[in-house]
Amino acid sequence: MGAGTAYLSTYLLSHNVPLDPPPPTKHMTTESTAHPLARRQRVQSAETGMAILKALARLGGAASLTAVAAAVEESTAKVHRYMASLMQEGLVAQDTATQRYFLGTEAIQIGLAALRQCDPVRLGEQSLVRLREELEVTCFIAVMGNKGPTILRFEEPGLPVTINVRTGSVLPTLWSATGRVFLGYLDDAALRQQAEQELQVGTPEQRASLAERDPIGSLRAAVQSNGMATIRDTLLRGVSAVAAPIFDHTGKVCAALTALGAASAFDTAADGSVARAVTREARAVSTALGHGAGVRPAA
C-alpha cells in the first residue's frame, strides 16, 4: 500500500467514514445466496417425490415407469432418479420380473396409520356444525350397532324440535331415514330380517309409506337411486328427516348423516335444499375417509 493510500484510509477511519465493503468471498456467497436456493431446491425435490407417490397410488399402487412419468408430466429419466431414492427409503419397491414399481412397506405403514385415524364421527363433527348452522335443524351421525342404527354425535339448533332421541339412541330400520340408508346400502341378512320384523308390527300409516309390492326391495332400490333416504311422519308425527350415507375407503357404508326438523317447514324432496346440503356434507366426510380417491384398480 502506498503512502497516499495509507493516509487516505487513516483519514477516513478517524472521521468515521465507512470504507467500501470488501467484495464477497466464496464463503459469503455460499452463506447468503446459496442456502436459500438450496432450501428451495430441497422443497421442490420433496414436492416432486410426493407427486410421484400420489401418482403411483392413483394408478392403483403399481405401475410402469412410463405410466408414472406421464402421470406427473416429467421425463422418465427424472422419475427414475426419484424412484431410486424412494426405494432406498422403503416408500417404493420394484418387481424385478415386470420392472413395475409399487408402494413399499414404509408407504403401507403410513397408509395404515392414516386409516387408524379414519373415524367417521370425529371427521364428521365439522359437517354437523355446518349443517346445523346452515339449515337450523337437528343433525346427527349414526353408525350400525349390534342392535341397529345408533346415534353417536348429536347437534341441535337454538330452537330444536322436541324429539325423544339422543346420543346412544337406537333407531328403527324401516321407519327412520337413518335406518333406511343402512338398509339400502348394506347387504346384510340380519338387517333385512330386522326390517321384515318391523314391517310386520308397523302401523297402517307406516306401512302405507312403502310400496305394496316388495316394500323392502323397492325401498332399497329407491335409496340407492336417490343416494339418500327421507321420511315424513313415519317415526314421529310432525317430524321429517333426510339421511345420506357415509362411505369408508373400501366403499362400504360406515355411518349415516341425518338432518331432521318439523314436517311443516322441512323439505324432504330428493332434490331439495336439505337433501343437497346433507348429501354434500356426507360426501365430504366420505372423501376424508378415503372414499372415491380416484384410485384405479391395480392390474
8 pLDDT above the threshold of 80: no
Q: Do both 125 and 107 map to the same domain? A: no
Quote the pTM value.
0.65
In the chain, which residue ranges form alpha helices assigned H by DSSP? 3-14, 26-29, 35-58, 65-72, 76-88, 105-116, 120-123, 125-135, 177-185, 189-201, 204-208, 215-226, 273-288
Mean pLDDT of the chain: 83
Residue 254 φ/ψ, nearest 5 degrees: -115, -15
- 51 contact partners, CB below 8 Å, separation of at least 6: 72
**Which has the minimum average pLDDT: 21-35, 44-58, 87-101, 142-156?**
21-35
> What pLDDT is attached to residue 163?
67
Determine what percent of the chain is predicted with pLDDT higher than 70: 81
> What pLDDT is attached to residue 263?
81
183 pLDDT above the threshold of 50: yes
282 pLDDT above the threshold of 80: yes
Domain CATH number, residue 99: 1.10.10.10
Residue 286 φ/ψ, nearest 5 degrees: -60, -40
195 pLDDT above the threshold of 60: yes
Return the C-alpha cell found at 242. 333426510
Query: Is the residue at 157 inside a domain?
Result: yes
Q: Do both 127 and 59 map to the same domain? A: no
Query: Is the residue at 109 inside a domain?
Result: yes
Residue 34 belongs to what domain range? Answer: 23-114
Q: Do both 43 and 141 map to the same domain? A: no
Each residue of 89-145: pLDDT tens digit? 999 999 988 999 998 888 888 876 765 666 788 888 899 999 999 998 889 999 998
Q: How far apart are CA 270 and CA 223, in angstroms?
A: 10
Number of domains in the chain: 2
2: three-class secondary structure by DSSP: coil
190 pLDDT above the threshold of 60: yes
Query: Is the residue at 295 inside a domain?
Result: no
Residue indicated by cell numbers 416408500: 91
> What pLDDT is attached to residue 122?
86
Q: Do both 132 and 252 map to the same domain? A: yes
> What pLDDT is attached to residue 185?
96
Q: Do both 89 and 189 map to the same domain? A: no
Q: Do both 68 and 124 map to the same domain? A: no
Return the C-alpha cell found at 102. 409399487
Query: Is the residue at 293 inside a domain?
Result: no
